[in-house]
Amino acid sequence: MTANTTDLELETLRVNRLFEIPVCVLALKDASRLNGELIEEIRKLRARDKGVRISNRGGYHSKKDLFDHNLPGFRKLMDGILRSYNETRMEVYGLGCSSTDQLRVQGWVNVNSSGDSNEAHEHLGGGCHWSGVYYVQTPKCCQDPGHITFENLVYKDFGTGTKRIWRVPSPSQGRGQSAYHNCVPLRPSEGEIVLFPSSTIHRVDEFRGEGERISIAFNITDPALNHLPDAGDPLPFSGLRSWVRYYFYGVYLPLMRMKQMLVGHG
């Protein structure tokens, strides 16, 4: 179809950016000294903790109690994570943290050697809001550094089966490539923190090279992101309810849904 030139002019243009996924990258200043401390503390941790298997395919995945260890490097990193989250919170919501005391952060170590990877997953299971990763060591001379790859996958059941929904088309990067890109890789870099909503599907591509790719992943639970308290519930996520929600989210969610159903039929 050929566009015809007319005297018709556009008056306004408004773009509603719906369902955007903010992925924030922040760099810690003078991180090399901190990374040296972390590598030594991680070495000692691995000597006494055999690790677990969750999303990792090969490699080492520690338990999720990293910040319970009272060690200098981990404490410094925690401070860096909280500062980074405060900046991210201000950028995304226009709302800074007056106090970080109510934030809950859990962390764990990932160490990948050549051939190791982490399958696609998200972090919503624990009731957290934001997740992230800090890169302690990323070998420079390697075939593939193990990119963290974010996936833009949405599925819906239309009654005839679940189908994938593609979102915004993008300019093609080359012949034969689809306009609907569904994966965006980010190259890991030492001293950087990558923060993203916990619902974001992501994976770690296979690392190929010498040495070890060391990172520390974490989840942040921010009570301010749940809902605004009403007059009869000034602290809706305090005490036992908050504890159950954080540690037993799989039980908490159906209980809250049952409560909503009862209230709705009352």
Tell me the domain boundaries of the chain: 24-223
Who's near 64: CB < 8 A, 6+ residues apart?
106, 107, 108, 219
pLDDT higher than threshold 80 for residue 197: yes
CB atoms under 10 Å from CB of 257, counted, come to 10
Helix or strand holding residue 247 (H, E): helix 239-247
pTM exceeds 0.85 for this model: no
Highest mean pLDDT out of 62-76, 95-109, 167-181, 223-237: 62-76
User: pLDDT digits over 71-101, tens only?
Assistant: 999 999 999 999 999 999 999 988 877 677 7
More confident residue, 258 or 264: 258
Q: How far apart are CA 197 and CA 93, in angstroms?
A: 13
CB atoms under 10 Å from CB of 207, counted, come to 27
pLDDT higher than threshold 70 for residue 172: no
Tell me the fold of 24-223: Jelly Rolls (2.60.120)
Averaged over 140-168, what is the pLDDT? 75
